[in-house]
Structure 1
Amino acid sequence: MLSKRATQVGPSATLQITATAKRMVKEGKDVVAFGAGEPDFDTPDVVKSAAVAAIQSGFTKYTPTSGIPELKEAIVRKLKNDNGLDYEAGAVVVSCGAKHSLYNIFQVIVDAGDEVLIPVPYWVSYPEMVKLAGGKPVFIQTNLKEDFKITPEKLRSCVSKKTKALVLNSPSNPCGVVYRRQELSAIADFCTENNIYCISDEIYEKIIFDGIEHVSIASLSEKIKKLTVTVNGFSKSYSMTGWRLGYCVAESGIAKAISNIQDHSTSNPTSFVQKAALAAFSLGPAFFDDARRKFQERRDYIVSRLDKMNTVLSYKKPEGAFYIFVNIKKTGMDSFAFAKRLLEEKYVALIPGGPFGCNDYVRISFATSMEKIKTGLDRIEEWVNQL
């Protein structure tokens, strides 16, 4: 018999849709895939070359569980320069992707019965990770009119004596929300007043549009810094999704506990991938500017097309990441029916919003070429007009 924890966790909807779309492509169907949560750009050559050089030099053995010292020092410099965060290398734990970092964090700070506040919509894995740690996800409802943002008032309505942590994702998946400094300051005050951990997922920090500033909540005060675990990685910013490397940074007690858990699960992240990540830090601002410009062009095009369909579809213009969260309520379908029919009838794959906590929405990823975006939106517009 399976364990209770195994039966309580469902598969990832995003990975399922992506796998189905790939299968249809192999069958010869002309599928336009708007599902993937990964950049369509290739991994930079300097990163690939560093990995090859590491392999050829024999850097293929075990490393320290929490990462090689030179990579951790590079992360410390990055946090200082980009995020205004001062940490020692011992506060950094490098793991097998930011998802792995998040899993470790919940295992370390959540006990059975502890509650974790999760704003809706949310990335699909947050609630499942909380449940795997024995905790209870408590959802904070937001809506389109509120720009999908939480406030101290909303937090106060959900907090209890069992509340252990808040999950914050800015820029966010699935709706591209970016919290401003003043908004984060109010959330930080709430966390410090209630002694609640803040798990700040900043994996999309380099993909922000319209000149909006990225702010790490831990940089706002020493009080909130002690309560914050900041999560980041190389998948989204450096187009290294398959390389599986992420990291978190926290006060020393939490970092040590995470390293101990990793000792008995994966041990170290892949040795030569760590060398590749070290090379990624050599890429300058121009690399990120170019990727951001391309993503913003795609976002602007999608928005312009959706505006022509706005009698049926509505949305919040994303300020970061590479997704747009579209309200489909006027079609009369829920997100699963909408996604299923669109894939079967028009060969367009997108992600239903149900697993994100919003069954009246679907997620469109614009991490694909402009040519495919144009083709896909032509099909969506034709299909929606026929409904």
Structure 2
Amino acid sequence: MFFEAQSDLWSPDNPDGYIALAVAENRLTTELVQQGLQAHGGFPAAMLYYQDMRGIPELRQAIAGMLQDSFMQGISELRQAIAGMLQDSFMQGVQIDPQHLSVLAGVGAVLDLLFQCIAEPGDGVLIPAPYYPAFDNDLRVRNQVTTLPVHLDSQQQDFAAALDAAAEAAAAAGHPVSALMFTHPSNPQGTLFSRQQLASMMQWCLRRKVHCISDEVYANSVFDESQQFVSAAHLLQQEVRSMEGSQHAGELVHIVFGFSKDFCASGLRVGCLLTKNTGLNKALDNISYFNSTPCPLQWSLSQLLSDKQWLQHYLQENRRRLREAYASVTSGLDAAGIPYTAAPAGMFLWVDLRAAFGGQPGSWEDEAALWRCMAQQHRVVLTPGAACHAAEPGWFRVCYAWTSPGSLPAAVSRIAAAVKQMQGSAS
């Protein structure tokens, strides 16, 4: 349905076109990234030759700096740039060694190679649900690991009991758990784990000696200024010292991020892994050859990320535009009386459309019928909760940064109309 919708999208000149709200992609600040890359488009002739397959030094250093100034393997220039970017953004206060960074052809490639190294076919991977629908394919298609949704109570600060129960059930089913992977901020909910919740998950992994993977691909998209993002890297620098099994943290904790979401650049295919695991990094020195990012692109990105003035302007402007789009869609939902989970980050909302079931609990078949009603009759395409392993039917993911901001009021009106239509059918 999404590809059908792409051929007839909403625009001011086509107000009856489809409104696609099913792609977790940010197009709000595309022109800033395009202009920045064009300004740094030249590259040395050496970039046409073989370089470090885990990332050029310049890029890794730039990324480390970016992370340290905000929230937190390719050619060495790129790894240096990435290290700088991390230190300048969502990993502020964290010291990052570019040698611990790998730059590959997208986060999907990062996860593919990571699980090739840390898991065996049939192993279980616990993932707090609801979660990004493509994880099932990304982890299973080549490495044949089993994704295991686990529903955690967001009101709890300690998840150990729930994770223990999930791991025991997985083992009984023949899927010994080798990793816990969580997305922070969450996709599809746009919510953040608290520092205590992150610590409880990391402690659980260290105690059980299973891998802890923090997917921080949306970490530079926290637009609510009252909320503070805490990276797993911060815990590695502080709380982990007092944790049971802390001596294993370097080999078990891995952080994944990239440029598809925060930098409106899904087509560039640049994903990163930050890990202190020496054996894993040595393995990536070899197998990253099959998933490396082109060196000229790495060079251009390293120069862009090293431009501190551009980086800070971009991050601030991107958050501002996300905040405006979020306000636009939530004001419409509020006016329509449609509940949702408040989201301080990301580019999506977790919307409660259970009212369409006419006061009844509803089934997954009912949810599918509502999705068809919205997509086929009202021409608005959302992601159904079933695809995200939701705990119950009736929840949908709304991605509000892919479509034109001008389409959002119409999108909410169409959603509300579909809910009302289904209510009439259910009564």
Q: TM class by shorter-chain length?
A: 0.7 to 0.9
1:289 to 303, 312, 316: 316
Secondary structure of the residue aligned to 2:219 is coil
1:118 and 1:344 map into 2 onto residues whose CA distance is 32
> In the alignment, which residue of structure 1 is the partner of 2:344?
319
- Name the Cα RMSD after superposition: 2.5
1:30 to 17, 21, 44: 17
> In the alignment, which residue of structure 1 is the partner of 2:77?
none
1:308 and 1:32 map into 2 onto residues whose CA distance is 19
Identity of aligned residues (%): 24
> In the alignment, which residue of structure 1 is the partner of 2:302?
278
Check whether the contact 1:147–1:316 (CA below 8 A) recurs between aligned residues. Answer: no
> In the alignment, which residue of structure 1 is the partner of 2:398?
364
Check whether the contact 1:329–1:360 (CA below 8 A) recurs between aligned residues. Answer: yes
Q: Does 1:21 align with 2:36?
A: no
2:159 and 2:344 map into 1 onto residues whose CA distance is 18
Map 1:341-356 onto structure 2 (within 5 A).
Answer: 341-356=373-388
2:199 and 2:18 map into 1 onto residues whose CA distance is 44
The letter of the residue matching 1:354 is A
Describe the superposition over 1:146-179 as per-residue Cα deviations: whole angstroms up to 9, x where unpaired: 4699822211211246221100111111111211
The letter of the residue matching 2:266 is T
Q: Does 1:153 align with 2:161?
A: yes
2:283 to 248, 254, 257: 257
1:298 to 325, 333, 346: 325
Check whether the contact 1:147–1:177 (CA below 8 A) recurs between aligned residues. Answer: no
Structure 1 residues 61 and 23: CA distance shift in structure 2, 3 A: farther
> In the alignment, which residue of structure 2 is the partner of 1:176?
190
1:63 and 1:103 map into 2 onto residues whose CA distance is 22
Map 1:367-382 onto structure 2 (within 5 A).
Answer: 367=401, 368-382=403-417
The letter of the residue matching 1:18 is F
Structure 1 residues 211 and 272: CA distance shift in structure 2, 3 A: farther
Question: Unaligned 5+ residue runs, structure 1?
Answer: 1-16
Check whether the contact 2:157–2:196 (CA below 8 A) recurs between aligned residues. Answer: no
**What TM-score comes out, normalization by structure 1 length?**
0.85
1:147 and 1:280 map into 2 onto residues whose CA distance is 40
Structure 1 residues 305 and 142: CA distance shift in structure 2, 3 A: farther
> In the alignment, which residue of structure 2 is the partner of 1:239?
264
2:209 and 2:114 map into 1 onto residues whose CA distance is 17
The structural deviation recorded for 1:269 is 0.7
1:25 and 1:54 map into 2 onto residues whose CA distance is 37
Check whether the contact 1:79–1:86 (CA below 8 A) recurs between aligned residues. Answer: no
Map 1:334-345 onto structure 2 (within 5 A).
Answer: 334-345=366-377
1:169 and 1:227 map into 2 onto residues whose CA distance is 17
> In the alignment, which residue of structure 2 is the partner of 1:86?
95
2:157 and 2:404 map into 1 onto residues whose CA distance is 29
> In the alignment, which residue of structure 2 is the partner of 1:204?
218
The structural deviation recorded for 1:318 is 1.1
> In the alignment, which residue of structure 2 is the partner of 1:47?
37
> In the alignment, which residue of structure 1 is the partner of 2:65?
77
**Greater shift in the superposed pair: 325-334 or 237-246:** 325-334
> In the alignment, which residue of structure 1 is the partner of 2:116?
107
1:168 and 1:363 map into 2 onto residues whose CA distance is 17
Check whether the contact 2:9–2:19 (CA below 8 A) recurs between aligned residues. Answer: no
Structure 1 residues 150 and 205: CA distance shift in structure 2, 3 A: farther
Equivalent pairs counted in the alignment come to 362
Question: Unaligned 5+ residue runs, structure 2?
Answer: 69-86, 358-364, 423-427
Structure 1 residues 149 and 22: CA distance shift in structure 2, 3 A: farther
Secondary structure of the residue aligned to 2:109 is helix
Structure 1 residues 30 and 147: CA distance shift in structure 2, 3 A: farther
The structural deviation recorded for 1:225 is 4.5
Secondary structure of the residue aligned to 2:293 is coil
Check whether the contact 1:110–1:134 (CA below 8 A) recurs between aligned residues. Answer: no
**Greater shift in the superposed pair: 284-293 or 172-181:** 284-293
Secondary structure of the residue aligned to 1:290 is helix
Check whether the contact 1:180–1:213 (CA below 8 A) recurs between aligned residues. Answer: no
Secondary structure of the residue aligned to 1:159 is helix
Check whether the contact 1:121–1:142 (CA below 8 A) recurs between aligned residues. Answer: no
1:133 and 1:109 map into 2 onto residues whose CA distance is 10
Check whether the contact 1:142–1:149 (CA below 8 A) recurs between aligned residues. Answer: no
2:366 and 2:116 map into 1 onto residues whose CA distance is 34
Secondary structure of the residue aligned to 2:213 is strand
**What TM-score comes out, normalization by structure 2 length?**
0.78
Check whether the contact 2:190–2:349 (CA below 8 A) recurs between aligned residues. Answer: yes
Secondary structure of the residue aligned to 1:229 is strand
The letter of the residue matching 2:404 is S
2:301 and 2:256 map into 1 onto residues whose CA distance is 16
Check whether the contact 2:125–2:179 (CA below 8 A) recurs between aligned residues. Answer: yes
Q: Does 1:188 align with 2:202?
A: yes
> In the alignment, which residue of structure 1 is the partner of 2:82?
none
